Each structure stands twice: as structure tokens, then as C-alpha cells.
Structure 1
Amino acid sequence: MEEKKVTIKLKRHLWEDERADRRRQNRLITMIVALMLVAGSLGFIVGRMEGIGNTQVETISHKRTKLERMQNIMNHKWYFSSMIDEVDQKMMDKAYYGMTSFEEDKHTSYMSQEEVELFTSHIDMGFVGIGVQYSEDNGSFVVQKVFKDSPAEKAGVLAGDVFIKVDGVSLEGLTSEEISKMVKGMKGTVVSIEFLRQGNPIIIDITRDEVNNTAYGYMLDEDTGYLEIYSFGSETGKETGVYLEDLNQKGMKNLIIDLRDNGGGYLNTLVDVASHFLQEDTLVIKQVYSNGHVENGYTKGNRIVYADRIVILINHQTASAAEVLALSLKEQYPNTILVGEKSYGKGTVQTTEYFEDGSALKYTTSKWTSPNGIWVNDLGGIEPDVAVKLHDYFYLKVPNLEESSSYEVDSVSDYAKVAQYALDYLGYQVLRKDGYFDVYFKDTLNQYKLEHNLETDGILNRKTLDSIISSVRKNINSDKKNDAQLMKAMEIIDGL
């Protein structure tokens, strides 16, 4: 979970000749030594220079000489140094990585500029596009979700529309990734998309814009709303508010909040979201610092939800800010029930400080507890009130199968194992699920291929595995009855 970001300056140096390299090298080494001393300190720096005697000066000098020698060797004697671009900067990055790597805290880390960009985009889930989510269905790409206030919604795109062409180019035979690249583009540009709606082709011109898609909501039935929160990004408070207002207008009496696979996000956003559910000045989170100081986070008075009952879905990937919200509502919103699986158990808060060169340091500042003082690290995660598991397929790590690789009878692989579990979930007869590719699995695989217009050659390749995985996603997304955890939540809502 992230606190407010702070920017500090650190100038990146470039070396143009040996003399300049040496001079700037010394500056960087001095900085490393200073940071190493801070990292190794057991107390706080209080701004006094007393007590630094000759022994400490000699120690610093020794460390500096050692680092100078090591960097000089790596720069000028190491065989591979001439083969690596910006080797100096990469060595410095490795020093930063090492300085911030501790077994005691896997959530503190140095991030390069590229990693910072990935980290931020992962939390905010933002991009420039039209704001839809679609899935493949027997070679066609069907819109599943149209996000609120998105360019697509404003232009009139509806769930169920089928992609036909983008800017006049047929999408037949293209992959989902290829279509995504065609739809996305520069902010303010127009993309012309031809859809098939109820059997009739329509062309819609959509102006691309920035899209945030960290939440999505709709009515499951006339009384029950469903709100899915993917991440606690910078705009999630606003996004959830829009969906909750819409659900209220549609007559919501009960609400299911889906926090499965939500890894957390920003601390201030957590408070924004909790404020939609609780009265103003309600305690949401306690931050406890190493010196014993406690900071409390309170709601802001933007309550929207007055539902009779709330069911929150959690799983093993529900973490950090998502766990805070689950516990806060469980403890303070009447008739709140947790359904699913034990959560991840991340009970610490991080702050990210950005440097002028685009890199950053993400470090732990405190631990958090629920309003009642529960620390999830002590529990190893939050236990649901009602435990419900999904099919075993959903607990497998899906490996990336290379385009050139394939598997057939009498082979063993994790790819076959994933395919076996997936086909079992889809209702096919699978006699073994250990990754061994026998003749019986070949027959099952060919049955799937025949039904999905794939060559029945008895071979598991990238195209086949992608198709199987896509079928699983379509199955659980298109028919909520296939989601055992959601079905249990609806049973609880209905009082069964």
C-alpha cells in the first residue's frame, strides 16, 4: 500500500572521458557509502556531527577505496564491460538494488525508471484507448464490458457488440493483442470501428482518450449490485463512486464487492473508497510506526452506500489496501460477510520517493492494522466467514508457451498439465492431470480442437493452449453460475 509520493533530486551523470569518469565516479561512491551507513544504522540521524572520530573516518575511507577499486576493475578490466551499454549506470543500479534488498522486507526496493513506469501503470491500470473489455468467442471478439465515462460509452458502444473492422481493416484472423494495438493510439485521435450489433453492422467513430479501468459495476438482479475493484489506483475513489451512484439509481438493496486478485494500491485511495460506505470520521486504518507513533485514517463524509447487506469476495491474491477495506467494512458495516479464500496477508505501508532521473525508492514506513487492531501479518491473511474454493485450474501458474514449441504423445510438461486441468474444468473427460501426454489426452485434445475449428493433429502448441485458456475465461465470465464463490455470495444475499 502506497502513501503520498515525494520527489527528491538526484542528477544522473554521464562519463565522456577517463578523467571525468574518475571524478564523477568518486561522487557516486561517496553517496553509496553514505547510504550504506544509513541502511546499516540501528537508530535515527538526529542532525548532530559529534562523535565521528578517526576510527569512523578510516572505516569510511576503507569502504570508499574498496568500492573505487571494484568499480575501476569492472569498468576497465572486466571482459564483458565493453559489450554492455551504459555499464556505469547499470553497476550503480545494481548497487541500489543490493542496498535495498532485505529478507525481512520484500516490499522495499529500488526501481529503475522503466520499473517505476510499470509499477505506476499496474496500480492505475490506465491507458489511452476507448475503454472496453472484450473476449474471443469462436474467432469473434465480443465486447464484455464498457467502462463508465469512457470514450466508448460516450460514443454508444454496448456490451455484446462484435468487432468487425478497425479503420476499415478487417479483423479476421487477428489476435486479441493485434486488435488492441489497432484500437489504442494517441489521445485525441479518432478510431473508426465497425461492430456487428444484433446481426446488423454499425460504424462508430470514437475519440481516443485516457481511460482508467480499476473498477466496474452492474446489477446482478433487480436488488443486488456488483462492484469489482481491480486495484486502488489514483482515480479509483472517483470510479467506484460513479458506479455506486448508478447502482443506487437502479434500486440496489444489497451489494457484492469483488476484491479477488486485487493487490492493493494507494493509501489515500483506500480512504476515498471506504468513505463511500461509512459515516464521516469513521476510523478506517491505523498506521503504526517503529517508534510507537500511530496515525489514524478516517472517512471523509462522501457516503453513497446504504445497502442492507454486503458480501465481500476475497482470495489468496487479495492484499494490502484491499485487505484493509475488507476488514474495515467487516468490523464496522452491519451485515458484512467475507466469502472465498484466505487473503494474501500484507500488513505494511510503503512510500515511494522519486528521483530526478526517473528512478525511485519504495520503502516500508509503517505497518497497518484494522480499526479493531488486527494485523494481517500475524494471521497470515484474512480468513473468510464462508470458505469456497474454485476449480483447481485457477490455482495453477500458467506458463508462457513459445510459438515454436509443441508437445505430443509420450511427453511431459507443465503446459500439458495446465491444458488438462483447463479441459477438466470445461467439462471434457480428462483421466490424468499430471502433465503426462498420453493417448487418452490426445483424444480429448482432438475433441476440443474439432469443436473449436482447430486442426485435429493431436498436438498441443501455442495456438491451442491460448484457445483453451480463452475458453476458460469466456466460460467463467459469460456465465456467473460457473463462479462458485460468486454463487455462494448470491445465496447469502438471498438468505439461503
Structure 2
Amino acid sequence: MKLKKSLLPFVLGVLVTLAIGMVLITTEHAVLISSIKYDRLLDMDKKYEKAEKIKEEILEEFYQEISEEELEIGMYRGMFEATGDKYSRYFTEEELEAYHDSTNGNYVGIGVLSDVSEGDIHITRVFPESPAEKAGILAGDFIIEVDGVSIEDSGYEKLIDIMLGEEGTDIEVIVNRDEEIMVFNLQRGRVDIPFISSKNLDGIGYIHIYQFGTDVSKEFKDHLKSLQKEGIRGLILDVRDNPGGLVAESTDIADMLMKDGLIIYTLDNEDNRRTYKSDASSIDIPVVCIANEKSASASEILIGALQDSESAVIVGEQSFGKGIVQGITNLTDGTGYKITYSQYFTPNDNVIHQVGVTPDYIVPFEGSINILDPNPEQDPQLDKAIEVMEELMLSK
């Protein structure tokens, strides 16, 4: 009898366990989770209940038609805008694809390079054979409206997104050119961006880098070899109007031009340090760099490293001052985001962000830079670079 009583709780325990197991197996939506995960889910539900309520209210009450997808995109954009960092942003699938295309040297659009540092779309370069060039849009123009959407109402980001699109589709672009409003009707097209160009200026090599896109360091090496075969005795490297690009491409070029030493180092929000270093090999000719107020980011990495290591003389104007690094994350649904994750410093611990690099020779220039046919008589910065180069070659 005692044995039976002692077995009873055990049997009941087994039966209860089996019953619970049967419920979990036979009930379609039953899930066994930990108490920690359960508490976390409750916390998330409370946190986003407000967002869900606002979304539903907008969908029901807003006086114009708006989709749930548009509201979700706006929410994702808003999180990056809350950082106060204009370089961190969310990408839709189409925007992310266009971004990757632009760093690879081709995309579908109108074919302009622009500076948006002040919130305006100031065209700094119109690419050869692009829809913009064929329509008559010029460097120096300010884009103020695209397909009926004005920059005042929607901001530059929206207008840039509109300019991207399917090849062959029509687009209307309105620009301000010296206070004259001009309307251009053109078609979006595939644009091949030439990242680099070079020329032999009577024994001085001239290389201009438009942007630090994919494989530009390899292109730079090829251009440099071609110029060296022609017997150049010095190199002028022009990064004016270069908005930056891929850090690795910039440091690879610095490695070719400077001897063993530190190129840059970065610090993240926990002061973790990452260094980029050069090996001992470098070219054996003097180097002069030309920069201006639109030389930014990866351009400043290059000129800052060359200046601190005394590998080059810098001519021109104070650079832009973007000394922070962004990384791209591709999400599984095809969207993605760009976020600033570190700040970089020159070998001599100089801060570049919101400061820039000060040239060794400051030479103002407000005219247009003729990269394909450089002419020192019309370009005082290039003229000064050649003057400095001739002095360096004489002293070598």
C-alpha cells in the first residue's frame, strides 16, 4: 500500500508532462520559449505599440493616399536621421543597387557628380557622353527641381533618388545657372564614370582621380606605369572636386607613393584602433598633390598621409573636412543601410573631420577645372603645382 502511494505523485507527474507535450504537439501555434525571451517580446510589444497605432492612424486619416510601405521606409530613414549624421542613411532596394553601381563606375541616371554639403545639389562635374552633357547641363549649375519635385519642399536626397531610374525613361531637370532658371528635358541613360585620367605635361606626369571607386588603385598603377615609360621626372596628383569613395582604394594609392609608415588610423565609439600601413617600396620621383574645398573623405586620407610622411607637397585650398568612415550593410530583403562607424586620423594625429587638410601652398581658384585638357595658363593651382614640381626636380 505504501508503495502505491509513493508511486502516485510520480505517475501523476508523468501524465501531466505527457498532457502538456500533447498540447504542444497537437496545437498548431503553441511554442515553448524561455521566460527571458517572453519578457523581451512583451517589452518590444509595448515599445512598438505606439508606432503601430500612429501608422494605422495615418493610413486611415491622412488626407492623401499613402501606402504602408512608404510609412515603413520613412520609419527606417527616420532612425538614421535621428543620429544627426548626414552620411548615415537607409537604402531601398533600388537605391542600394544604384549606390553599388556608382561605386563600380556605372549607373543609370543623368550623369553628373554633385556636391550636397550645404543641402543644395551643386553640379561639380558632367560626365562625357552622358544625358546631362548632351542636354547642355554644365558644371556649376544648381539642380533645384526634378520632375516637379523641388529641393525646397523635399530636400536633395529625394531629388537624387528621382534622377535614378530605368534606362530610356524621360526626366525633367530644372537648374539655376547664375540666377537664370533653365529647364532641360532628357532621358536617363547608363553612365560609365571615368574614375581616372592622365596626361604627360612636358615630362611631368599628371593624374586626376575623380573618385575612389572600385579598382581605381589598379587603374592608377596602370596610368602611372604608362607615364613612367614616357620618362616623366615628377608626378602631379589632382584630387580636386573628388568627394571620396572607398578607403581601401585610397590607402592602396598612398602605399605606392610613400615609404614604410602609417597611412591612417581609425577609432570607433569604443576607441578600438585600426591602422593602415605602407610598405617600404615607393616611386622614386617627387610628387605634388592638388586639392580644393571639395576634396573630401578618401581624398583627404591620401593627401593627409602624403603630407605627414613628407612624401608629397600639397597645393590648392583647404580640403572639405570629412574625416569619418561609413560602412554598407546589405540586408536579406535587398535593402540596406550606410552608417558612420569610425573617425580617422592622419599619421601625425591630426583630426580631419570638420577641419580638413591645409595645403603647403594655398592658392585660390574659382574657375572651372579642365581635367581632360589641363592648362596651367587658365588654372593657377595647376600652374603653382608645376612651379613647385620644377623646384623639386632641380633639387633631386
**Closer/same/farther in 2, CA of residues 89 and 327 from structure 1, 3 Å limit:** same
TM-align CA RMSD? 3.5
Match of 2:134 among 155, 177, 194: 177
CA–CA distance in 1 between the matches of 2:345 and 2:132?
45
**TM-score, with structure 1 as normaliser:** 0.52
> Which whole-Å CA distance do the structure 1 matches of 2:370 and 2:327 have between them?
38
Find the aligned partners of 1:271 and 1:64 in 2 and give their Cα distance. 43
Q: Which of residues 203, 215, 223 is equivalent to 2:196? A: 215
TM-score (normalizing by structure 2)? 0.64
Distance change >3 Å, CA 177–CA 226, structure 1 → 2: same
Question: CA separation in 2, counterparts of 1:212 and 1:67?
Answer: 42
Contact preservation (8 Å) 2:197, 2:372: no
- How far residue 313 of structure 1 moved from its aligned partner, in angstroms, is 0.6
Report what 1:135 is aligned to.
Answer: none
- Match for residue 383 of structure 1? 358
> For residues 378-433 of structure 1, what are the alpha-carbon distances to aligned partners after superposition, in whole Å with 9 as ceiling and x for unaligned?
x6111111111113xx4xxxxxxxxxxxxxxxxxxxxxxxxxxxxxxxxxxxxxxx
- Match of residue 262, structure 2, among 276, 280, 283: 283
Shift of 1:59: 5.6
> Structure 2 regions of 5+ residues with no counterpart?
1-33, 109-126, 137-166, 168-189
Superposition pairs of residues 117-136 of structure 1, within 5 angstroms: 117-126=97-106
Q: Does 1:494 align with 2:386?
A: no
Mapping for residues 249-398 of structure 1, pairs under 5 Å: 249-279=229-259, 282-299=261-278, 303=281, 305-307=283-285, 309-334=286-311, 336-377=312-353, 380-391=355-366, 394=367
Shift of 1:78: 2.6
Query: Structure 1 residue 117: deviation in Å?
Result: 3.3
Task: Supply the AA of the counterpart residue of 1:219.
Answer: N
What is the CA–CA distance in structure 2 between the aligned matches of 1:58 and 1:120, rounded to whole Å? Answer: 38
Deviation at residue 475 of structure 1 after TM alignment:
11
Deviations 1:284-319 (A, max 9, x none): 110112212211112367x56221x21111111111
Q: Which letter does structure 1 place at the counterpart of 2:298? A: A
Are the counterparts in 1 of residues 251 and 301 from structure 2 also a CA contact under 8 Å? no
Shift in CA distance, 300/356, structure 1 to aligned 2, threshold 3 Å: farther
Conserved? CA contact 1:124–1:214, under 8 Å: no
**Distance in 1 of aligned mates of 2:390 and 2:324:** 36
**Structure 2 contact 208–371 (Cα < 8 Å) conserved:** no
Name the SS for the 1:481 alignment partner.
coil
Shift of 1:245: 0.4
How much has 1:271 moved relative to structure 2? Answer: 2.2
| Cα 1:77/1:475, change in 2 over 3 Å | closer
Quick one: structure 1 residues 294 and 175, their matched pair in 2 at CA, closer, same or farther if it must change by over 3 Å?
closer
State the secondary structure of the residue aligned to 2:199: strand
Give the fraction of aligned pairs with identical amino acids, expressed as a percent: 26
Deviation per CA, 1:154-179: give whole Å up to 9, x if none. xxxxxxxxx9xxxxxxxxxx994269
Counterpart residue type for residue 79 of structure 1: Y
Q: How many residues align?
A: 289
The runs of 5 or more residues in structure 1 that have no matched partner are 1-48, 129-144, 147-162, 164-173, 180-185, 187-208, 395-471
Distance across 2 between alignment mates of 1:57 and 1:475: 58
> What residue identity is the alignment partner of 1:65?
E
Which amino acid letter does the alignment assign opposite residue 218 of structure 1?
K
Tell me how far apart the structure 2 counterparts of residues 474 and 374 of structure 1 sit (CA, whole Å): 31
Secondary structure of the 2:257 match is coil
Q: Secondary structure at the match of 2:256?
A: coil
Q: How do residues 128-277 of structure 1 correspond to structure 2 at under 5 angstroms?
A: 176-177=133-134, 213-222=194-203, 224-277=204-257
2-structure distance, mates of 1:325, 1:113: 32
CA deviation vs aligned residue, 1:312-366 (integer Å, no higher than 9, x gap): 11111111111010011112244x2111111111111111001233321111111
The CA distance in 2 between the partners of 1:355 and 1:111, in whole Å, is 10
CA contact (8 A) 2:369 2:379 kept: no
Distance in 2, matches of 1:277 and 1:176, equals: 34
Q: Distance in 2 between matches of 1:113 and 1:123?
A: 16
Distance 1:74 1:252 in 2: 66
1:345 maps to amino acid = G
Residue 269 of structure 1 and its aligned partner are, at CA, apart by 1.2
What is the match of residue 452 of structure 1? none
1:73 aligned partner: 57
Q: Kindly tell me: are residues 127 and 292 of structure 1, through their superposed partners in 2, closer, same or farther at Cα, counting changes over 3 Å?
A: closer
SS at match of 2:391: coil
1:28-43 mapped onto 2 (5 Å cutoff) = none
Q: Does structure 2 retain, via aligned residues, the 8 Å contact 1:241–1:304?
A: no
Distance 2:377 2:357 in 1: 25
SS of the aligned residue for 2:349 comes to: coil
Stretches (4+) displaced over 4 A: 49-54, 56-59, 209-212, 472-478
Give the 3 Å change call, closer, same or farther, for CA 57–242 of structure 1 in structure 2. closer
Over 3 Å counting, the alpha-carbon distance change for 1:275 and 1:474 in structure 2 is closer
